[in-house]
Amino acid sequence: MTYTDIFIDFDDTLYDTYGNAVIALNELYEHYELGRYFNNPGQFFDIYWQTNHKLWHQYAHGQISRDYLMIERMRRPLQAGTTADGKPLTPTTQQCADMGNKFLKLCADKPGTVEGAHQLMEYLKHKNYKLHMCSNGFHEVQYHKLRASKLIEYFDTIILSEDAKANKPSPKFFDYAMQTSKATRETTIMIGDNIETDIRGAKQAGIATIFFNHFNLQHPDNQIADYEVNKLSDITQIL
Mean pLDDT for the chain? 95
pLDDT tens digit sequence for 162-181: 999 999 999 999 999 999 99
Q: Which sequence spans correspond to the domains of the chain? A: 5-15+114-237, 18-108
Q: Please identify, in words, the CATH class of the domain defined by 5-15+114-237.
A: alpha beta
| The CATH number of the domain covering residues in 18-108 | 1.10.150.240
pLDDT at 223 over 70: no
pLDDT at 221 over 80: no
User: HEC profile for 96-157?
Assistant: HHHHHHHHHHHHHCCCCECCCHHHHHHHHHHCCCEEEEEECCCHHHHHHHHHHHCCHHHCCE
pLDDT tens digit sequence for 34-69: 999 999 999 999 999 999 999 999 998 999 999 999
pTM value is 0.92
Per-residue pLDDT at 222 = 58
Tell me, yes or no, if the two domains 5-15+114-237 and 18-108 fold the same way: no
pLDDT tens digit sequence for 128-139: 999 999 999 999
pLDDT at 219 over 90: no
Give the CA distances from residue 226 to residues 9, 13, 199, 208, 236, in Å, rounded to whole numbers and listed in that order.
16, 17, 9, 6, 15
